[in-house]
Structure 1
């Protein structure tokens, strides 16, 4: 499963910065130059030995200029006690085992940031990747998703699963509940959803978003898992959209869909 996190740079608040043009849009060449100064060190054998950006490219997605790259962030497997033979005796040392994980970044001219992780374990580096982005000279604000927003998503699209927290219902000790439905069943509604949706806060919804893949030109349904309660986390099954070019177009399309919902609230 791929996970996607969305951020917005505060360029509109700092339109006079040297990294922006007069309209508050990013000056892509200057931003790229700043990112090159923060490139991750890579050895000849391909080993990454420090945090930073790499494979930085100027690209275009759906007519929008973007900077596309990878970010390397240091992670740890934890501390282990390693035994060594030194001066004819056994010596035990507490050693931290480190490695560098990667994330795929897209930064658009209109100040949107998309951070994609291919594995759940890579998400642990999200705060470090955010700090790395902010080192360019901006503040990055995460896309916020709360109860009202998730309910609007549930109403607009064909949904398949949901989770409700902080349930307060007279005569019922249930505090949270997760449930799935059969989206192909048009005859019956979810009794659980009917019973509990008005008595708690929705924190998760899974829905099917129609999308036309550029690589094939055919429309398909992409299952989107939207986790709220604050900063949004989006999970997408790679088997449904395995082509990276399709995914990059999809993430821009998805953000536009989410913004339409947010603007309507």
Structure 2
């Protein structure tokens, strides 16, 4: 299964990062978002990201130039008709993802693989909503995509061996380390990470320590590059809440109950860096 043309749906932080990584590794990329401003911002981010790679000696200036010209943008999904692989990177809402995949399913040729960058939603349910469940699976990149080495490969129950092998090979071509996990709530990364973040929020909620001190403990005591509350802001508190709800609903275990403070902050519109305010304030 040869993959040359890659489609990316969603031009936000994850989508633009995924597009950059494919482009700088020799793939033609069709980046789609229904908001033209998102596409414009994505190209600016990709250009800056490629320049960072040049500055670090990861790629040459010529590779960066070629990579940028390899990214084609459109507000319409019809452009996916020429793709061998389409990766979805939109909001973590299952009905929205399923509706979009059903549209992509109608557009793409039979050989196209569909993949989701979801951080928690069942791949098996999404695969079942398409006419190609054997060519559907999860490809969960970490943020920031150009920097983080890991990609979680999540097989739906219906995923064929051929599809799985194709995405394993693609991960190697992207210079990523692919780890295979089962289709289980939160997979591995978020099943471990999100309860830690949630517990950090509980320590703030219960007045155990300040925001800065909670983050300092984990940075200085556990050698984490970023404290859990700062990380929650980077991820998005709405996304953190969504994943905790997925874990609680999936496992029916009270240990995954979202902290009331997390719910309150999302209700207030304090989503973190993307909204300008979370546990910290941002310009």
Query: Normalized against structure 1, the TM-score is what?
Result: 0.27
Looking at secondary structure, tell me which structure has more strand per residue. 1
Larger Rg: 1
**TM-score when normalising by structure 2:** 0.26
1 or 2, which has the higher helix percentage? 2
